[in-house]
Amino acid sequence: MELDFERCYRAVDSRDQRFDGWFYTGVTSTGIYCRPSCPAMTPKRQNVRFFPSAAAAQGAGLRACRRCRPDAAPGSPQWDVRADVVGRAMRLIADGVVDREGVPGLAARLGYTERHLHRMLRTEMGAGPLALARAQRAQTARTLIETTGLGLAEIAFAAGFGSVRQFNDTVREVYGAPPSELRAARRPAPGGAGTITLRLAYRPPLHARALLDFLALRALPGMEEVRDGTYRRGLRLPHGTGEVALTPADGHVSATLRLTDMRDLAPAVARCRRLLDLDADPAAVDQTLAADPALAPLVAAEPGIRLPRSVDGFEMAVRAIVGQQVSVTSARTTLTRLLTHTPADTVDHEVDGEPDLRNRRQPHDQPGGSGGGGGGLRGFPGAEEVLGLPDGAFGMPGGRRETIRALARAVASGELDLAPGGDREAAARGLLALPGIGPWTAGYVAMRALGDPDVLLPTDLAVRRGAAALGLPTDPKTLDAYAERWRPWRSYAVIRLWRAA
């Protein structure tokens, strides 16, 4: 298998975990091989070789690194492209899958036995799935203790613990103090029941205006808005609905969450981080793109451009289908019409044995300034809701309507997995198998829903306009060849071309 040296070396230099499983780095001076994300010092170019699999590196006489343990990856990129099982497992654990479905549910989603999954996580992370989920529950519990006025027993179950005793023992073990001491040390910030304000850290620089510009242009009335330097949107979460207000600040993004069920805190935070691409390494991306004289002035003028992603893979896939061969404004109009025909959000829990309708959003409600768990902005409809819509709700040609229905059936049945821990290659195959979905749509979904950092959309009209504005080739084939120098960050180059257009 041919591996491009420059592309692989840049990925190693960035230590971005998204490239784990693509290839393995052999260091001839030390006789070891590593994952691209290995925290060790980047080796010198003359001492590096790249291999398509761990077996190939072992065949060359190299041993596995004891820090990043590349031998834990279950196979080569030929069958686990762009996301090794450990990385996928960690994303699913962060989304709360273990708390909701247990280890059997996590293993089933990844396609492995519980025993094999446990062995891989122990080798790679030093802990099994239950211990990793327990650590996340402890972090969620501390956040709730320090930022809300909830009772400690409520916090225990909201954080996912099975009992108050387990909650007390875990917090004491992890933080060296009982929950009552953590509560005494911090006074919860005001904001009302179900409201939490957090600081989401990122690696600088962050071009906040570009993020907000991008989201504002595509904001759907009643679901999201950008106002006064803050992006607000409704959320559909595993246990209910919610709303978030995200305000970029110096060194962090302030996130104010209003949740109908506190068990959704960890999933909500994970989705907000994905939406704003806060886990990216902008310095590594900009260094590669700035090496192209055509993009260098853009990088110098606007460092830290991120790849806006999504909080829900199905939502982004619907947006991509609606956006085929139409302007952003036209797509937004069509999507807004679709939203007006879907039922109001309801909360999936009961109070005193009766459905809790306090947070239901009625069709006449207007988006609120500070947001509420359902009194302001709503979430995007799920696959089952879209399947139940009449033809007149879509406001688009019949072929495109049927494409969305085919997508909804595939997602609802589990045939197509667009979740953060899903397999990207399998998702791409599933999308392309649906009628009406071609390479542009599949690429757009891979870029924004699945977080693929290396997608180019050479046939995209705005990409070609941006290329023309920079004096670059506009013919799709020629542009595709030219863009090889942007690997492995072509998705970020697309965002810059869109801005140039």
By annotation, the residues acting in catalysis are 34, 460
Burial label for 375, CB within 10 Å (0-12, 13-18, 19+), is middle
Give the Cα separation of 9 and 43 in Å (integer). Answer: 9
Q: Which position has the token pair 């994303």?
A: 91
Host H or E run for residue 199: strand 195-201
Q: Which residues pair with 195 in a beta bridge?
A: 258
3-state class of 449 per DSSP? Answer: coil
Cβ contact 63:28 at 8 Å? no
Cβ contact 81:424 at 8 Å? yes
Nearest C-alpha neighbor of 141 from the set 128, 152, 127, 129: 152
Q: How far is CA 168 from CA 157, 171, 178, 438, in A?
A: 12, 5, 6, 52
Question: CB neighbours (10 Å) of residue 48?
Answer: 17
3-state class of 63 per DSSP? Answer: strand
- Whether residue 488 is preceded by a cis peptide bond, meaning omega within 30 degrees of 0, is yes
| DSSP string of 136-150, one letter each residue | HHHHHHHHHHHH---
Q: How many C-alpha atoms does 364 have within 13 Å on its Cβ side?
A: 0
Task: Name, in order, each residue with C-beta under 8 angstroms of 367's C-beta and a sequence gap of 6 or more.
Answer: 221, 222, 225, 232, 376, 377
Residue type, 466: G
Cβ contact 315:380 at 8 Å? yes
Regarding beta strands 224-227 and 63-64, do their DSSP bridges make them parallel or antiparallel, or are they unpaired?
Answer: unpaired
Give the Cα separation of 39 and 412 in Å (integer). Answer: 39
Task: Name, in order, each residue with C-beta under 8 angstroms of 180's C-beta and a sequence gap of 6 or more.
Answer: 152
Give the Cα separation of 466 and 129 in Å (integer). Answer: 45
What one-character DSSP code corresponds to residue 397? -
Token pair listed for 176: 């060296």
Sign of dihedral through CA atoms 482, 486, 488, 494?
negative
Q: How many C-alpha atoms does 394 have within 13 Å on its Cβ side?
A: 21
Nearest C-alpha neighbor of 141 from the set 164, 107, 110, 115: 164
C-alpha angle 157/163/169, rounded to 5°?
A: 105
Q: Which residues pair with 232 in a beta bridge?
A: 225, 245
